[in-house]
Structure formats: structure tokens, C-alpha cells
Amino acid sequence: MVSLSLDKLKQGKKSMIISMDLNEDILKRLNDMGLNIGANIEVLVKGSKNSPYLIGVDSFRVALEPDLAQSVYVISEM
């Protein structure tokens, strides 16, 4: 297992959130959408510098801006 930021994951990869380096307001918003420490997620669509990532968490899909994806850390099998 390896720890890395969410923006480094390949499309289709599943992982678990282990930490988030975000301010309190953004952290609360992401938590309300199901993106919290311990959540199992999957990268459905890999974003780019100008387009969001589409993340699957439980039965939901969440769009995440690239700068936020850089601040979410996950553990994943390579």
C-alpha cells in the first residue's frame, strides 16, 4: 500500500481517504458530501488542470476541483 494525493490516482483506482489538508469550511463541505477520513472512494473520471475529478463514494458521485484533489491524501494499492 502506498500513500499519495488523490490527484495522483489513475482513473478506476479505488482507495481510502487518510487525511485532508484543507481549511475547516471546505473540510465540512466535503464531509457533508461523504468525503471524510476512512471513506472508500473510486476515481471515476480523472480531472486535469482545468477540469474536475469525478469521485465515487458509496452510491454518490462528487465533483472535486483539481486543487482540492491535491489536498486529499489516500492509501491505495499500486
pLDDT in tens, the chain (78 residues): 889 999 999 999 999 999 999 999 999 999 999 999 999 999 999 998 889 999 999 889 999 999 999 999 999 875
CATH class of 2-76: mainly beta
52 grid coordinates: 474536475
Domain boundaries, the chain: 2-76
| Residues 10, 46: Cα–Cα separation, whole Å | 7
What pLDDT, on the 0 to 100 scale, is given for residue 18? 97
Q: What is the pTM of this model?
A: 0.90
Question: If DSSP states are collapsed to H, E and C, what string results for 29-63?
Answer: HHHHCCCCCCCEEEEEECCCCCCCEEEEECCEEEE
